[in-house]
Copies of this chain bind each other. A is one copy, B any other.
Amino acid sequence: MAAHTNMRLPVPRQVDHNKRRAEVVEIATDLIAEGGLDALTVRNVAKAAGYSTAIVSHYFADKRELLFHIYRAAVARAGARTAAILAADPCDLDGCIDALLPLDDERCRDWQIWFAFWGMAVADPDFAAEQRARVTDAQALFKSIFEARRRAGLLPPDTDCEIRARLWVSLIDGLAVQAVFDRADWPPERQRRIIDEAIGQR
Contact = CB atoms under 8 A, between A and B. Distances in A.
Interface of A: 32-37, 39, 112, 115-124, 128, 131-132, 135, 160, 163-164, 166-167, 169-178, 181-182, 185, 190, 193-194, 197-198, 200-201
B115 A36 contact: no
Contacts of A197: 160, 163-164, 167, 201
A123 B181 contact: no
B170 A178 contact: yes
Contacts of A181: 118, 121, 128, 131-132, 135
Contacts of A171: 167, 170-171, 174
Contacts of A121: 115, 181
Contacts of A170: 170-171, 174-175, 177-178, 194
Given A194-B166, A201-B200, A123 B174 contact: no
A179 B118 CA distance: 12
Contact of A119 (B120, B132, B185, B198): B120
Contact of A167 (B32, B37, B123, B198): B198
Most chain B CB within a 10 A radius of its CB, from A35, A36, A178: A178
Contacts of A128: 181
A36 B178 CA distance: 22
